[in-house]
Structure 1
Amino acid sequence: MSRINRTKLLDRQHDRRDAKLFIIATEGEATEKQYFGLFQSTKIKVEVLATGDDHKSAPQYVLARLNDFKEMYDLNDDDMLWLVFDVDRWTSQNLSSVCREAKQKNYYLAISNPCFEVWLCLHFSDLNPQDTSCKNFKARLRMLLGSYNSSKLDLSLYDEPKIADAVARAKQLHPTATQNWPPTPGTHVYRLVEILLQSLNK
């Protein structure tokens, strides 16, 4: 079966020759898709492959989703494929095997420990050492913002200066580029966001 041309993913607002594609397979069903929608522009197209109604969110399913997409589309060399998932409740062995396969396929990793809400918290403050679970980080967001609904983000809160703050804080927590995932609460989502921002500002 022949692959679908990548231009099928682009609409009239994109420069069909030069627009860069970011394919992001996520563990979450809604939160990440909303957040990464902030980066859409004429220069880049962000395609989020979120977990669907089957709720298959384990890292190996996120990886399989990205594999299937890559098989389906004829992508350019500078298009980037990313895995965005959480350490959460998965074992180190499970995470290591997924990371190993991803790197073999030249996919990029943006993993959060314990969950994506860590990245959202970093837009507004440094991490509180008492926060170690997803429940803690969701409660922290409610405290910082007054309310928090993971399926209905208030995107106006995540403006470019706040995003820059989040990148700086996340980098400070885990600056080592060789780590597959943060060994303590933190997130590598900044690795993806930095490249998105660079592509937007070219």
Structure 2
Amino acid sequence: MRKINRTKLLDRKHDRRSAKLFVIATEGKDTEKQYFEMFGNRKVKVEILATGDDDKSAPEYVLERLDKFKDLYGFSEDDELWLVLDVDRWVKKDQLISVCPQARQKGYQLAISNPCFEIWLCLHFGDLFPEDRTCRHFEIRLRNILGSYNKSNLDVFAYKPNVKDAIERSRSLDLKLNEYWTSQLGTRVYKLVESILQSLND
């Protein structure tokens, strides 16, 4: 398969010589895509590989999506390729456990949330509550905080001012860095966002 030059990934409005590329393959269709796209500017290009209408959201499909994309384009050593996955549906199955070492071996980075991406969104607004346990709990909490929560129509402006707070709260929950994901409630999305912010500030 013929590779396509990475500069074709960079919008003409971006500086092709200096823009850093983040390729993010996600389990979700809409929420993650809307969230991460808010970080793109002339220094950073964010390319989201979301789950499509085929609904292939299992970890092996997310990994496959990133593999295919990498095969098509040439990348700089500074570019970063990430998998954004949730624990809630896969922790009791072999898929997630199998995919993590494969991804690391290929040089991909992992941003896994336990139980789901909504925990990262909630951490923009405060610490976890004792009753927080499931994705449904976090979605209800977001509705209570924001007045509404729609996965397909995310109000990114509500989150943007609190990104650094979310990073700090997430880091405080991340007690076992040697694991692929936090065994307790938590999320490693902060590592991805931290890297994006660092690139924006360089």
- Aligned counterparts of 2:31 and 2:23: Cα–Cα separation in 1: 16
Cα displacement (A) at 1:126: 0.5
TM-score with structure 1 setting the length: 0.97
The 1-side partners of 2:46 and 2:11 are apart by: 12
* Equivalent position amino acid for 2:104 in 1: K
Query: d(CA) in 2 for partners of 1:72 and 1:116?
Result: 28
SS at match of 1:46: strand
Q: Deviations over 1:40-97 (max 9, x none)?
A: 0100100000000000101111000000101111111111000001001212532121
Deviations along 1:178-199, one digit per CA (max 9) or x if unpaired, are 2211111110000000000000
The 5-angstrom pairing of residues 11-160 of structure 1 reads 11-90=11-90, 91=92, 93-160=94-161
Amino acid corresponding to residue 23 of structure 1 in structure 2: V
Q: In structure 2, what is the Cα distance between the partners aligned to 1:7 and 1:85?
A: 27
Q: Summarize the Cα distance change of 1:124–1:76 in structure 2 as closer, same or farther, 3 Å threshold.
A: same
**CA offsets, 1:91-143, max 9 Å, x none?**
25321210010010010000001100000000001111211111111001011
Aligned length: 201
Gaps of 5+ in 1: none
Q: Aligned equivalents of 2:143 and 2:11: distance in 1? A: 36
* Helix, strand or coil at the partner of 1:11: coil
Letter in 1 for 2:127: D
d(CA) in 2 for partners of 1:5, 1:76: 10
The amino acid of 1:168's aligned partner reads: E
> Partners in 1 of 2:133 and 2:66 — Cα distance?
29
- Percent of aligned positions with the same letter in both sequences? 60
SS in 2 for 1:18: coil
Structure 1 residue 176, shift from structure 2 partner: 3.3
Q: Which of structure 1's runs of 4+ aligned residues deviate more than 3 A?
A: none
> d(CA) in 1 for partners of 2:82 and 2:89?
21
Q: Which runs of 5+ in 2 are unaligned?
A: none
In the TM superposition, 1:163-174 aligns within 5 A as: 163-174=163-174
Q: Please give the secondary structure, in 1, of the residue aligned with 2:86.
A: coil
Q: Is contact 2:176-2:182 (8 Å) kept?
A: no
Q: 2:27·2:86 contact (CA, 8 Å) conserved in 1?
A: yes
Q: Which moved more, 1:46-55 or 1:137-146?
A: 137-146
